[in-house]
Amino acid sequence: MDLRNSLLSAALIVVLAPVAAMGGRPHDFKGLGFPSGYSVGYAAGVSGDGFTVVGTLYSDDTRTAEPWRWTAADGWQPLRDPTGTIPRGWASATSCDGSVIAGSVRTPQGTQAYCWTAGAGMELLAFPDGSLDSSRAAAVSADGSVVVGTRGIDTANYHEAFLWSRTGGMETLGDLAGGYHWTQPCNITADGSTVVGFSMTDSGAEAFRWTEAGGLEGLGSLPGPGLQSLAGGVSRNGNVVLGCSDSADGWQVFRWTADDGLRALGAVGPTTIWAEVADMSVQRPVAVGYGESDNGDEAFIWNPAHGVCNLQEYLVEEMGLDLAGWQLLQARGISDDGHTVVGWGHSPNANFEVWMAHIPEPATLAMLALGGVGLLVRRRR
């Protein structure tokens, strides 16, 4: 093989490397559009394998929220209730392979949490006393066997966290001392053994970590005038928690471990009013979320190489993607390998629309650039 063909072969291998690393999907960005009769959509999350998106679409006719899922093979599909109709409600989370979805629907008895599968359909989650009212699902384990959420009790501002499993039924998770009784789970480990979220205390919202053995443990907050913190990401083994906390330097992303406590990873933005980590990858350190600033909602991404970045700027400036006409407001989910991110924002037609981005690892971007140089060398020769 001559030098010219050797350079071409090497360049092609480098250019195709990110595609192979991402399961055959190149880095790109796209809006997921709408089925007929819908023009507003919100993403809630993405499956661990990155192929199923869950969220809420609003009907143009009824102007009501409905739970839907999206796959590349079938596009948007509604989640139907036991009567076969599309209920008013939301899809909040999905299992690793997208086969189990948890969410909430409106019924004559109130808002009720559900667990949906393609085979069994939509199952409402009952409490030990038989009641179904005022419950909302927030997250589901990787195999779909465990669902966590909140249950509203009769009095105002009283919401308790619950964990439901097919083998153990329903149990409550308790709350942190002080404040009014409001505990919100936000995420769960793959095996369903560890739950993270926030609970209201006398100082405001405080991040927590729950395990069967240790119960509900408050994680504190970063030093500063505020004492607010929210946990939204958890590692596969439950030993690492990511979230956001108010601090002397504004709202920051934090990393928590039992040995180190809370460590700041970087500020979300100079004018951020509050921020929340929505999800984290379990195969490599990447997290996504959103915060509210003077400019409104803004999506962000964190990784060790770049720290905390505005997601839209990251995709355009670091990834070279075309987001003309888009304004990314919230990033809500990331795949287990950290390569697929979903969220919602203003699309070029000014509607709220669900989007999906496929991004390589930072090191892969350098290989892409080197691959382009190799091709230029071949052409010049």
Identify which of 225, 279, 220 has the alpha carbon closest to the alpha carbon of residue 248. 225
| φ, ψ dihedrals at 144, nearest 5° | 80, 10
Alpha-carbon span 7 to 19, nearest angstrom? 20
CA 131 – CA 121 distance, rounded (Å): 20
Q: Please give the pLDDT value at position 380.
A: 28
pLDDT digits (tens, 9 = 90+) for 248-287: 999 999 999 999 999 999 999 888 899 999 999 999 999 9
Digit-coded pLDDT (tens) for 6-32: 433 333 333 333 333 344 456 899 999
What pLDDT was estimated at residue 4? 42
| Per-residue confidence (pLDDT) for residue 79, from 0 to 100 | 97
Q: What is the predicted pLDDT for the residue at 129?
A: 67
- Written as one string, the DSSP assignment of 326-357 is -EEEEEEEE-TTS-EEEEEEE-TTSSEEEEEE
What is the C-alpha separation between 185 and 274, in angstroms, rounded? Answer: 18
Q: What is the pLDDT of residues 30-51, one digit of tens each?
A: 999 999 999 999 999 999 999 9
CB 162 within 8 A of CB 170: yes
pLDDT (mean) for 147-159: 77
pLDDT value at residue 168: 87
Contacts of residue 219, defined as CB under 8 A and 6 or more positions apart, other chains included, come to: 206, 207, 208, 209, 229, 231, 241, 243, 256, 261, 262
Share of the chain above pLDDT 70, in %: 85
pLDDT of 154 above 80: no
Instruction: Summarize the chain as % helix, strand, coil (round to 5).
Output: 10, 50, 40
| Look-up of token digits 């559900």 | 114
Give residue-wise pLDDT tens across range 206-265. Answer: 999 999 999 999 999 999 887 899 999 999 999 999 999 999 999 999 999 999 999 999
Q: Is the pLDDT of residue 131 over 80?
A: no
User: In this predicted structure, what is the pLDDT of residue 17?
Assistant: 36
DSSP state of 360: -
| Residue 119 token pair | 């085979």
In this prediction, residues 356-366 reach a mean pLDDT of 69
Q: CA nearest 173: which of 141, 218, 203?
A: 218
Instruction: Report yes or no: 142 and 178 within 8 Å, Cβ to Cβ.
Output: no
State pLDDT tens for residues 316-346. Answer: 999 999 999 999 999 999 999 999 999 999 9
Per-residue pLDDT at 367 exceeds 70: no
Give residue limits of the domains in the chain: 1-26+368-381
* C-beta neighbour count of 209 within 10 angstroms: 22
